[in-house]
């Protein structure tokens, strides 16, 4: 994890890492989604909870099957993301060696008019969603790797957050979480296609309705946790038919001793 990535992630609770996917990785991931577009189902609207500035005419699109379990070659781009060298580098640093996949991956597609998602985040009330700094080291709970398969421009909508709120001491008022009051602290996060957005679930974040008529949002979110922690119901087995040892390590249930470490162990330095 570079000095820039560490600094900005610690400061804001998220960081955008551009060009995390190569052109080829991006193309094959988009081809897999397009090939399996029959598996995309639009959720019933509801994530906006009916708040006027978050409401839309449709719910977001999600895959009805884990992309990790698609047939070859369509699963390959997502399996590549699961244990991508860039995520190993980041999560060994902020979750610690032996980290695990907590839940996901989940695709989010949005078209013009797709509703937003009421802002939420755990820093002041959910003990599994945290960002601490001690012993010269970031320590996070549930944390997200959100791969951007399509460009997100300023003003488009989509993922947005209150930078720095992962360290907030006061709860964010509901009127701010629902956009009823504008305290000018919410930032919509733009990113070129192929970027990786890392954010801690301790950050106050949500989704703004999608605006562009000519471009779709396509993000795929993998949620990871330290090896000792489960936020979701722990996987009982790896859903991949022919897993590698690195993939199996991602599906190891939460426990502390004897975990498999991917990449270089930063605590050994
Ligand atoms: O990417 C987004 O639009 C928001 C995702 C979200 O709210 C979450 O992962 O908890």
Domains delineated in the chain: 3-264 (2.60.120.620)
Percent of the chain whose predicted confidence (pLDDT) is above 70: 97
Largest CA distance in the chain: 52
Task: Give the ligand 1 atom nearest the CA of 201.
Answer: 10
Q: Are the CB atoms for 203 and 177 separated by under 8 Å?
A: no
Q: What pTM was computed for the model?
A: 0.96
**Which protein residues touch ligand 1 with a CB less than 6 Å away?**
108, 117, 144, 146, 158-159, 205-207, 219, 221
Task: Give the ligand 1 atom nearest the CA of 60.
Answer: 3
Alpha carbon distances (Å) from 184 to 56, 251, 252, 253: 22, 40, 42, 41
Alpha carbon distances (Å) from 210 to 121, 153, 159, 188: 21, 11, 10, 11
Question: Residue 263 belongs to what H/E stretch?
Answer: none
User: Per-residue pLDDT tens for 15-65?
Assistant: 999 999 999 999 999 999 999 999 999 999 999 999 999 999 999 999 999
């Amino acid at each position: 994890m570079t000095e820039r990535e560490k600094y900005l992630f610690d400061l804001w609770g998220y960081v955008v890492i551009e060009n995390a996917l190569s052109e080829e990785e991006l193309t094959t991931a988009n081809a897999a989604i397009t090939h399996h577009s029959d598996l995309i189902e639009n959720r019933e609207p509801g994530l906006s909870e009916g708040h006027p500035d978050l409401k839309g005419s449709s719910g977001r699109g999600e895959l009805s099957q884990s992309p990790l379990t698609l047939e070859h070659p369509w699963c390959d781009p997502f399996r590549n993301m699961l244990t991508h060298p860039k995520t190993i580098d980041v999560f060994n640093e902020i979750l610690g060696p032996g980290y695990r996949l907590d839940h996901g991956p989940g695709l989010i597609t949005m078209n013009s008019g797709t509703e937003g998602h009421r802002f939420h985040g755990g820093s002041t009330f959910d003990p599994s969603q945290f960002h601490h700094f001690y012993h010269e080291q970031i320590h996070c709970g549930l944390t997200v790797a959100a791969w951007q398969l399509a460009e997100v421009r300023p003003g488009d909508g989509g993922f947005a957050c209150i930078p720095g709120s992962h360290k907030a001491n006061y709860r964010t008022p509901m009127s701010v979480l629902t956009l009823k009051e504008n305290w000018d602290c919410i930032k919509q996060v733009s990113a070129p296609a192929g970027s990786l957005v890392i954010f801690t679930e301790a950050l106050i974040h949500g989704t703004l309705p999608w605006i562009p008529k000519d471009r779709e949002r396509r993000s795929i979110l993998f949620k990871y946790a330290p090896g000792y922690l489960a936020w979701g119901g722990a996987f009982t087995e790896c859903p991949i038919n022919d897993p590698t040892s690195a993939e199996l390590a991602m599906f190891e249930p939460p426990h502390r001793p004897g975990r498999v470490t991917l990449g270089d162990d930063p605590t050994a330095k």
